[in-house]
Structure 1
């Protein structure tokens, strides 16, 4: 297949090209998001198969999150060095290999390696759609494009857990790894057809600049120290936990210092500190971090709650979450149009409030509650997500200068996922702590009101995080002018 530069693709497909390009990256993003969420319904089965404790089983999710979080910082460099197509196809091949290897693995260490490979691929691909939307679409179309993209992306994980739950019940936990295979194959085909070979801005990919390996190493060490420190907090080693968390704080200070020094030397930093000179972007990253902790923490907690506290099967879990996922998809499509006209702070605040309400309502459930209540509460939370997803990135990055857009997309995605990785660990720690406080543990096969009380307290913690994020969202009230008019040929 011959390489097709952007101008020839635009001339060949005309006005519809930018939508075909969006569709192409949508399929790959669907695969990456599915790989991050669908494994949760298989954690109990995987834990039983490998005889894992809660701490090791949790790394199936958090190991993926660490890899995805750190690799997001490399997206601008990869796009600049290799261009859109090579970067995108490379991530899809890695995601495909991870899915196949994870499904065939007979050792838990191999499963973790496969999950890390999937996480690396998912992290690189996540910021690409936001870069394309802000560069290929007119300002008045960006909300609509973001809404349509978001609708397509969330449909896959909405349907995925339902199908995955059935597959786990019928064929075991291995089957969920293979679900990404058809999406990866389709995305590779679409990439060769519609994704340009150019770097952001329509320029040719340059092979001269080097990756900021020191910054990447510092970021990786800091992320691992943070997550391991949170995990160690649940044990009997407070000094070790304190040392790890201190290492995370020191890594943050060192990372900022190194990025500033690299900028002063006119180098290519992993994270351009000039981004934080834009107030809307700075506040958006705060919201993204807290929101990520609540979102991914709940994504981990809900399937465990339904299977361990309510004793529902994996297929039941997927079926319960299906209506919520479908509602989320249509909410995103509608809110995407509002994002072109309504202020970001209002849409994000509404979404966070609904998400907090959904967590709080979980306290009304008991062992004898009707399942439709759980469906309704999940729907309320997903409507909240529908208000946040298409609004936050656009509102935070619209004020940025065009050369900073790739770095902005990478940075805000990184901080959201860093919050998410911390949120998964935080929920696991809080759950184990509250179970012990109520005289229970997940090793006990029987549920009880005390177990539900422990879960309820963790849901309240997530609601409090959402309330905290609302305070930051209100700081987004200063509206900046839209960026200058762009065309698809600047992608």
Structure 2
């Protein structure tokens, strides 16, 4: 029995070991989540520093999301080949290096490269906790584990914008990149103590495992980049280029599916196991994940920009306004996590989507002269809704899966959620610029106006409509799936 195996560590630390393991993964996931959201409060300051237009500045967020989205598909292969510990520590080192490089960068291309590196690391690490929760915890404990894990993870984006806003005002945008450094260092130390060096099934990682599906990865990357660049081109006047890029994205999707089917038939390990979507509940959960990812990540881009460019609030105040919503989200996740084995997934997720849609629909009531407590209230309402979705969607969707499909299931559903997120950021930017121009205003105008406010309101209505659409798929999650046990 290897000293770094699950059995050896369980024997050493006793029944509490699985909670120590979850804590170790939580710290690293906090770092990855913080890196994905906190940079939004620094975009206006960074844009001024590098003299960037809205289109180029938006790639600071979109570039991260593209890298994170695609790298999620590599998690099952990396775990099988290198094991949990090497994979996890490697991602933390890459995230640490990206944060340092971004903070010290002297030009925009280096900043963008650092964000891509951070995105690659964040994408690999984020499916891992879901795999651990399904395999290490009994069904009646999974909700509690998901709730506690979610409480910790959401504190990062809850506290991050508040601290980040103050740092931007005091020290500039560079300070944002350095915030992940202490989290990465702590997570690496915890990993060497609690994270096993074995693969997902508890067996020794196999260096001779099937090679990574590079062709599938290339097709997925091509499709994602073509989709997002096509959406960006829609904002300009080059509709022919947009059509070509979107057609390329569609062709890449078709080619990716065909290649994955061929890989499965010929005995190779596909990048995405399409057998997952033979499970109706998992397939519906994936649709929900994509749509709600579009709305959620679109809003994380839209809200800070709305408060700074429309309401003319300083970056520090933006973080303060979002802080209560983040704290309420943490508490909600902890409470809802205990309900995941008592109430149907369809009820929890549909309730959350309805509250999220309502919060977006009510944003126009704030107005240029409206009280800020309204904005705080609607943000809290939306985060309560998110608290119903986060601990229940992944667990509920993955419970019907067989043991060998769990790593692939965690990877694929996170990939689709982030693909929706990357699309949502571009979609919000497209709709925002389109509607601002339609109302006769421009973001280059330093003064806000009712026309600009109307454009932002229309973007919020779009997000509300997306959440309402996701409810249709969420209601299909009802059923009594087979519950995998920790010993399977």
TM-score bracket, shorter-length normalisation: over 0.9
Q: What is residue 189 of structure 2 aligned with on the other side?
A: 189
Q: What is residue 270 of structure 1 aligned with on the other side?
A: 271
Q: Distance in 2 between matches of 1:79 and 1:250?
A: 30
Q: Distance in 2 between matches of 1:243 and 1:348?
A: 36
Q: What is residue 369 of structure 1 aligned with on the other side?
A: 370
How does 1:42-121 map onto structure 2 within 5 Å?
42-121=42-121
How does 1:10-409 map onto structure 2 within 5 Å?
10-208=10-208, 209-409=210-410
Runs (4+) off by over 6 Å: none
Q: Distance in 1 between matches of 2:229 and 2:417?
A: 18
What are the superposed Cα offsets for residues 451-475 of structure 1, whole Å, 9 maximum, x if unpaired? 1100000000000000000011011
What are the superposed Cα offsets for residues 101-141 of structure 1, whole Å, 9 maximum, x if unpaired? 00000100000000000000000000000000000000010
| Superposed displacement of residue 7, structure 1 | 1.2
Q: What is residue 476 of structure 2 aligned with on the other side?
A: 475
Q: Is the 8 A contact 1:71 1:123 kept in 2?
A: yes
**TM-score for the superposition, normalised by structure 1:** 0.98
Q: Is the 8 A contact 2:103 2:174 kept in 1?
A: yes
Is 2:473 aligned against 1:444?
no
| Superposed displacement of residue 201, structure 1 | 1.1
What are the superposed Cα offsets for residues 394-448 of structure 1, whole Å, 9 maximum, x if unpaired? 0100000010000000000000000000000000000000000011111000001
Q: Distance in 2 between matches of 1:301 and 1:281?
A: 29
| Superposed displacement of residue 3, structure 1 | 5.8
Give the root-mean-square deviation of aligned CA atoms.
Answer: 0.8
| Superposed displacement of residue 35, structure 1 | 0.1
| Superposed displacement of residue 478, structure 1 | 2.2
Q: What is residue 457 of structure 1 aligned with on the other side?
A: 458
Counterpart secondary structure, 2:391: helix
Q: Distance in 2 between matches of 1:163 and 1:241?
A: 38
Structure 2 gaps of 5+ residues are none
| Superposed displacement of residue 170, structure 1 | 0.3
Q: Distance in 1 between matches of 2:36 and 2:113?
A: 14
Structure 1 gaps of 5+ residues are none
How many pairs align? 486
Counterpart secondary structure, 1:442: coil
What are the superposed Cα offsets for residues 318-371 of structure 1, whole Å, 9 maximum, x if unpaired? 000000000000000000001111100100000000000000111111111111
Q: Is the 8 A contact 2:3 2:9 kept in 1?
A: no
Counterpart secondary structure, 1:271: coil
| Superposed displacement of residue 481, structure 1 | 2.2
Q: Distance in 1 between matches of 2:477 and 2:137?
A: 23
| Superposed displacement of residue 479, structure 1 | 2.4
What are the superposed Cα offsets for residues 1-60 of structure 1, whole Å, 9 maximum, x if unpaired? x96222110001111000000000000000000000000000000000000000000000
Q: Distance in 1 between matches of 2:236 and 2:286?
A: 31
Q: Distance in 2 between matches of 1:188 and 1:402?
A: 28
Q: Distance in 2 between matches of 1:309 and 1:249?
A: 35
What are the superposed Cα offsets for residues 167-186 of structure 1, whole Å, 9 maximum, x if unpaired? 00000000000000000000
Structure 1 residues 246, 130: CA separation in 2 closer, same or farther (over 3 Å shift)?
Answer: same
Q: Distance in 2 between matches of 1:234 and 1:318?
A: 29
Q: Distance in 1 between matches of 2:478 and 2:18?
A: 30
Q: Distance in 2 between matches of 1:6 and 1:168?
A: 43
Q: Distance in 2 between matches of 1:349 and 1:479?
A: 17
Q: Distance in 1 between matches of 2:269 and 2:321?
A: 47
Q: Is the 8 A contact 1:144 1:340 kept in 2?
A: no
